[in-house]
A = this chain, B = another copy of it.
């Protein structure tokens, strides 16, 4: 059940039907809590409403921080019918979902994503997890929330950098399956960057519907759903090698999508003009893509640690055209792609 709207975060008629006992644990972070925690707590005054704050930054999406959620549940004697509420971005959602999946072998949780990337992508589909020092999201579970409440009003308090990074996932939906939507994004980039309410509602509704469709087709990620990983194999490797600090997830995905587009061009699928069109839209979204370079051998080594590796072969998602992605099994990638500066990924 996904609720999308404007100023719906603290609507008791939406939230309360999904809370089944008197116990609630809100998991959040200080930056977002300052804006929305009080209004959320205000509709939970009849409950034992505990709150825990996670440290901010992808480098804290680790097992130690995750254990704090579990320990808060134990210490406050939360029972099997408790409800966890994830109030925050993708990191809060992933960690809360994984805590809900594991506490007493599974309790209920609700997603209230407050970032663009959370509302269009990570809160939907039941993928939960944390990072291992050697790889992103290597520890986790498929575990669905009772409901998702996406309030586009929360996007107005995002930093410009975070908002733009989130647009990478939005652009991705256009690239993999919806050329019309890609065109709509090109035409409406000004009102999008101005966070126009109707533009935001259109984006969140459209993208969450696409994501939901993919998840319904292939929950466990063995078929169609893999197309959603466009740009992500490159992106995850970049995030891990940079230590999850210098780069936001959406930024890594944006660079990864450019690299995947170039690879698609090299294989004769799309034209150089298409690659340029993709790069232009990502630039217009103002996504930060200037990173220190990384030795290409390290990037390839890291990509082979990805979950999408099978029998040593990388499963990459490539573009047949703008609006149509395909899954491609790649061997011998190491001798073919060259990695210069992330800001200007290019082929040798």
Contacts and interface: CB of A to CB of B under 8 A. Distances in A.
Interface of A: 21-22, 63, 67, 70-71, 74-75, 77, 79-81, 101-106, 127-129, 132, 134-135, 137-142, 220-221, 304-305, 307, 309-311
A103 B142 CA distance: 11
Q: Which among A79, A129, A142, A310 has the highest number of chain B CB atoms within 10 Å?
A: A79
Contact of A138 (B21, B74, B140): B74
B141 A79 contact: no
B63 A105 contact: no
Contacts of A79: 307, 309-311
A266 B263 CA distance: 76
B70 A103 contact: no
B142 A71 contact: no
Contact of A74 (B129, B305, B310): B305
8 residue pairs, one from A and one from B, having the closest CB atoms:
A105-B140, A104-B307, A74-B134, A102-B139, A74-B132, A79-B309, A105-B142, A79-B310
B127 A105 contact: yes
A71 B132 CA distance: 8
Copies of this protein in the assembly total 2
29 contacts: A21-B311, A63-B63, A63-B67, A70-B138, A70-B139, A71-B134, A74-B132, A74-B134, A74-B305, A77-B304, A77-B305, A79-B310, A79-B311, A80-B310, A101-B141, A102-B102, A102-B141, A103-B138, A103-B139, A104-B140, A104-B307, A105-B127, A105-B128, A105-B129, A105-B221, A105-B307, A106-B141, A106-B142, A106-B220
Given A79-B310, A80-B310, A74 B106 contact: no
A53 B6 CA distance: 53
A141 B21 CA distance: 21
A174 to B, nearest CB: 27
B134 A75 contact: yes
A309 B134 CA distance: 38
Nearest to A129: B105
Given A63-B67, A74-B135, 12 more contacts: A21-B311, A22-B311, A63-B63, A70-B139, A74-B132, A74-B305, A75-B134, A79-B310, A80-B310, A81-B310, A105-B140, A106-B142
Contacts of A70: 132, 138-139
A71 B140 CA distance: 14
Contacts of A63: 63, 67
Contacts of A81: 310
